[in-house]
Amino acid sequence: MKGKRYFQVSLFLPLIVPLIVLLLFEPSFAYGRVVLILIFSLYLGGVPYLLFLIGLFFWMRRKDARDIQRMTFISPLLFAGFFVLCAVAVVPIQYLMIGQVRIEADVVFQCSVVILVLGYSYVLVVNAGYVILKLLKIT
């Protein structure tokens, strides 16, 4: 597998991992906080992350593996900002549909912190995997 393709496929991990967890476990504290956080990351961040991916894949068209790898180090920060923008964009829609705003700034901030923690966890795993594949001369 080429390095560019490896990083492109790895960008789907934040959707695939929570989806697998959702299929295996029900949302409950009985299975631990990590399971619950992963499932709710899919619920709250799934659609914004898909929109973010569209932008990333558009950007990646003429980039090489090294450029994409560098982007992985800032992508959680970029996505956290994009998530906040999506939350702000939902405010007028909510107000028009139900007559009130049900999004609170502290919840959006907490979600952004979770995005950064989970995002950089994925970045660590993906880049460690890439280094291992390079050492094994697979990429």
Question: Per-residue pLDDT tens for 35-55?
Answer: 888 888 888 899 999 999 999
Burial class (CB within 10 angstroms; exposed 0-12, middle 13-18, buried 19+) of 17: middle
The kind and range of the H/E element at 44 are: helix 33-60
Q: Which residues contact 13 (CB under 8 A, 6 or more apart)?
A: 122, 125, 126
Model pLDDT for residues 53-109, shown as the tens digit of each residue? 999 999 999 999 999 999 999 999 999 999 999 998 888 877 787 777 777 788 889
- CA terminus-to-terminus distance, the chain: 6
